[in-house]
Amino acid sequence: MATNNAPTALVDLNGDHHSGDGKYTEHTLSAADVVLGDGDGAKSARDQARSEASARNQEQAKEFLKELEGAVANLDKDENWTRYLDAMSKLPRYSLNNQLIIMGQMPGATRVASFNTWKKLGRNVKAGEKSLRILAPGKRWYADREDEKGEKVKVSGVASWTTVGVFDISQTEGDPLPLPYEQLSEEPPEGFIENLESSIRDAGFTVSYEEIAGGSQGFTDGKDMRVVVDSRLNPAERASVLAHERGHIACGHLDRVGEYHTGKGGCRGAMEVEAESFAYTMCRANGMSTQLKGAASTYVKGWSRTEPEALSKAADKVREAFASVMKEKQFLVADLDESITAAKSTTRRPARKSTRKTTTRTTRARRAA
């Protein structure tokens, strides 16, 4: 005969109930549950349940890390690189690893947060929804080191990894929240060009439009701190070029302008992939449909043979630059991410101001209309 005192199939470290197949059932543990009963026996059972959950999460983290090696290597394929950029445009707050992990579990995820964060935003996880698992630091190490001035400072790092559960907004219900663009337009949405111009000016550059000779659609001049775009471009091309040049600035290319060449030691190909990938992600995140140009995918394919680590470095560089720019108030898609961040913590770090100084310029080759 069944009783109300039967233990739940699984209780994770957050106190979430899951059925045998891992689906979320409820959050608050009842007094009838064995793991939250009174007395030493119940405490022992609770500790054991937490210990077992912790061990499972650590094993899952090890599996994720192994799988990620293959996922990163597969980014050299056009469709995988593009899929990753699509995921990045929707999940700017997450690391490269967690973006790939989320993409593998739910390719259509748009906004992801923990159970408690959604609750703070006035939304509840639907019963029966299965959490997405992502990597999180487990045990950390701490040590005393000397800095450049010889002074002792405390440093720390991740000794082991675990996994935690998060949910996509589609798995929740409750108060309405700003959503990313569900349908993309070939033309730039109203205000997008102006927002890009404002973002470039906030970075310390001027924006001007003039006819450019030599087949270039636009360029960034680091010496005079200006971005110039060909005045003959249509609105869609203008937005793409502005986003591309904003990518050069955000990715720090103007600090390495001496490396902008294709000779020995040059990084022009990598810089173009990063700027073009940034532009693709930026446009799609703000409602404009665009395509990743052939030059970028050509460089990506070459990296897999000559510089395997370059793929993950470029992906991380684009992700960091995109996440930083999307925090700027003029971009609508940042609204929900700011709400999520505020719900997780009331302490906000001030935005870092650009201090880049360069003496030359980078250029961008004309693309086919």
Name, in order, each residue with C-beta under 8 angstroms of 83's C-beta and a sequence gap of 6 or more. 103, 107
pLDDT at 68: 59
Backbone φ/ψ region at 300: left (φ over 0), alpha (ψ -120 to 50), beta: alpha
pLDDT at 13: 46
Q: Which two tokens stand for residue 87?
A: 């995921």
pLDDT > 70? residue 128: yes
Name which of 11-20, 141-150, 178-187, 210-219 the model is least confident about.
11-20
pLDDT at 61: 66
The mean per-residue pLDDT over the stretch 29-56 comes to 56
Each residue of 234-266: pLDDT tens digit? 999 999 999 999 999 999 999 888 888 778 877
Select from 79, 53, 65 the least CA-distant residue to 292. Answer: 79
What confidence category does residue 332 fall into, taking pLDDT thresholds of 50, 70 and 90? low
First vs last Cα of the chain: how many Å apart? 72
pLDDT > 50? residue 7: no
Domain ranges of the chain: 10-76+112-138, 180-365
What confidence category does residue 334 fall into, taking pLDDT thresholds of 50, 70 and 90? very low
d(CA 66, CA 7): 34
Give the percent of the chain with pLDDT over 90: 22
pLDDT at 121: 86
pLDDT > 50? residue 350: no
Name which of 26-40, 104-118, 162-176, 292-306 the model is least confident about.
26-40
In terms of average pLDDT, the best of 296-300, 340-344, 348-352 is 340-344
pLDDT at 205: 97
| φ, ψ (nearest 5 deg) of residue 234 | -80, 170
What confidence category does residue 232 fall into, taking pLDDT thresholds of 50, 70 and 90? very high
pLDDT at 342: 62
How high does pLDDT run on average in the chain?
74
pLDDT > 60? residue 289: yes
The mean per-residue pLDDT over the stretch 196-202 comes to 95
What confidence category does residue 231 fall into, taking pLDDT thresholds of 50, 70 and 90? very high
Each residue of 294-306: pLDDT tens digit? 555 556 655 555 5
pLDDT > 60? residue 346: no
Name which of 39-48, 114-123, 314-323 the model is least confident about.
39-48
pLDDT at 37: 45
What confidence category does residue 54 fall into, taking pLDDT thresholds of 50, 70 and 90? low
